[in-house]
Structure 1
Amino acid sequence: MMGKSLQADLLMLLVTLLAAMGWMFSHEALSEMPPLGFIGVRFLLAGLLVGGLGWHQVRRLPPRAWRRAGATGVVMGLAMLCWILGLSKTDQLGVGAFISSLSVVLVPVLGWLFFRQKPTASTWLALLVATLGLGSLSLESGLSIAASDGYFAAAAVILALHFNLNSRYALSIPPVALTGIQLGVVGLIALLASGLSESWSASISWRGIGWLLASILIATSLRFFLQIKAQGMASASHAAIIMTLEPVWTALLAMLWLQEQMSLQQLFGCSLIFLSLLINRWRWLLHRPKPGA
């Protein structure tokens, strides 16, 4: 019989693939929907779906838990606004995925800046390697960062802050309830921003609706449900190591789906960023539980 640890590993591997597929679904949906409107509808409906499934948890939350879940949802919303704006402007989804993955490296750095949590030496080494990787990507366009890359970098910083806030303030909130509230808050923020700055097309084709539904059901609701389930079966460090594969899957899917190609310099920059993710998780790799544990 398959060990619990191996089951968790396979589920997290599937989560990273679903997250990468979300990049493709979103890219296709943006051909017919405004970016902020799309992310608003996607996250609000996903939040209602997840929150509905976990309604027994949601209705028991005290006011303090609602405030904390809502506040972390606002931070997550700002990150998602930056991410979708980057996605709407980029012609290199693979590169964008690696830049967004820098949030993993930045989590302990922001934990140190805001909460005085002392980072390890590997954190600073990972940050140095990640900076070199980002520098290599910026040199591709002559000492400048594309607007899309800037949005992805901003999303990475804000997501790292979101992770710290989640870890610090939301540990006592049931995960399904927390996920549903946060997704819903993201959706409301994005729809508000869309209403203030975007105009909607008179009609959306069934193809566009299909990509929207795939984003809601597969890349958001199913992904977060499986992620919560997998994280309940293994340690957070275990899950974090496997989550570093998301940009790799995204780059591969972009090559197969969109026929994207990276230059040698872009490949070098993305490789450095991936190396920084591994360095950041190195001490957990060394202490990985045995199979079947």
Structure 2
Amino acid sequence: MSTLKRSPWQADALLLLVTILAAGGWIFSKEALAGMPPLLFIGTRFLLAGLILLGFAWPALSAMPARRIRRGIFVGFLFSGAIGFWIMGLATSNHLGESAFINSLGILLVPIVAKLLFGDRPPRTTWIALPVALLGFALLSLNAGFKVETSQLLMVCAALCFALLININTRVVRNVAALPLTTLQLLSVGTVLTLVSFMFERQPVALNTSILGWFMASVLLASALRFFLQITAQGMTTPSHASVVLMLEAVWTALFAAWWFGEVMAPLQLLGCGLIFTALLINRWYWVRKILLRWLPGAAR
């Protein structure tokens, strides 16, 4: 009997909690950026989160061959680029909900990058979903007055890097347990981006109780706990199934931003985000249908 059949609801519940924590991370990060430079914030956040997970991952890491450790660190360097673009996009963004949907394009771009770099054949649904997503992004650009904003470009770069990262992750670090791999990646990202911050960022740090609170929420909830639960849940289901539930991060982020910051989407933004989310559903329709059949029997027939 498969893991998916043995513990479907537990996996789905954990993944749903992961999406809520990840969406909360957008809010925590935006608030913390009021008193910290972007790269210093994200570098120290990931470094501390990695050190926390190191306590759980140390037995596996100490027994891991040096070759696999080097590969994990290499992937962590690629992760640094993706997270770097993401945090700079977040720092310059005036609309978190919109940015979250643009960032979610990384899921759609995974098979495209696999085709370009490794010659893989994307499923037919990818070619149907791609123009829908591009139309959605075009509508978001039109909402800004026929121009692409800096934050939008940075989020697109982050999505491309995440798509590349996922492809490299599945090829370079095969057969590496998720917890030690995640720990290596968090520590690598934290080290790289903290060093880059020290070299290039000149923004003063203005820490107070509030900023420190948001920073620690980012470290403990949106990083350490989020990744620990995500690793656990992914071990209870398949990657494709997990990716469908994880798409809800953008939806939660938009809802949280509307509640916390009072963000309101213009009609073009709503339509653009709706088209991007529709493209993600089309791209993962096989697994979306399986979830619908399990949650709502007869709904996807």
- Give the TM-score normalised by the residue count of structure 2: 0.93
Pick one of 60, 65, 88 that aligns with 1:62: 65
Partner of 1:40: 43
Pick one of 106, 111, 114 that aligns with 1:111: 114
1:229 paired with 2:232, answer: yes
1:154 paired with 2:160, answer: no
1:191 paired with 2:198, answer: no
Aligned to 2:74, the other structure's residue is in SS state helix
Aligned to 1:247, the other structure's residue is in SS state helix
Q: Identity of aligned pairs, percent? A: 45
Q: Would you say the 8 A contact 2:36–2:206 is kept in 1?
A: no
1:232 is matched by which residue type in structure 2?
G
Q: Would you say the 8 A contact 2:37–2:205 is kept in 1?
A: no
- Give, in angstroms, the shift of residue 200 of structure 1: 5.3
Q: C-alpha deviations, 1:83-105, integer Å up to 9, x for none?
A: 00011111100000000000000
Q: C-alpha deviations, 1:156-189, integer Å up to 9, x for none?
A: 0000000011111112111110000000111111
CA distance in 1, matches of 2:94, 2:294: 41
Q: Would you say the 8 A contact 1:254–1:260 is kept in 2?
A: yes
- Give, in angstroms, the shift of residue 3 of structure 1: 6.2
1:124 paired with 2:124, answer: no
CA distance in 1, matches of 2:43, 2:209: 19
Pick one of 247, 251, 254 that aligns with 2:254: 251
Cα RMSD, aligned residues only = 1.5
Aligned to 1:54, the other structure's residue is in SS state helix
* Alignment size in residue pairs: 290
Partner of 1:13: 16
Further displaced range: 265-274 or 189-198? 189-198
- Give the TM-score normalised by the residue count of structure 1: 0.96
Partner of 1:280: 283
Partner of 1:208: 211
Q: Would you say the 8 A contact 2:132–2:278 is kept in 1?
A: yes
Pick one of 81, 88, 91 that aligns with 2:84: 81
- Give, in angstroms, the shift of residue 34 of structure 1: 0.5
CA distance in 2, matches of 1:286, 1:209: 43
- Give, in angstroms, the shift of residue 150 of structure 1: 0.5
Q: Would you say the 8 A contact 1:100–1:155 is kept in 2?
A: yes
- Give, in angstroms, the shift of residue 201 of structure 1: 3.2
Q: Would you say the 8 A contact 2:90–2:99 is kept in 1?
A: yes
CA distance in 1, matches of 2:271, 2:95: 15
Instruction: Report the CA distance shift for 1:206/1:290 in structure 2 as closer, same or farther (over 3 A).
Output: same
Q: C-alpha deviations, 1:12-51, integer Å up to 9, x for none?
A: 0000000000000000000000000000100011111112
2:12 is matched by which residue type in structure 1?
D
1:102 paired with 2:123, answer: no
Segments of structure 2 that go 5 or more residues without pairing to the other structure are: 296-301
Instruction: Report the CA distance shift for 1:101/1:202 in structure 2 as closer, same or farther (over 3 A).
Output: closer
Further displaced range: 15-24 or 230-239? 230-239
Partner of 1:138: 141
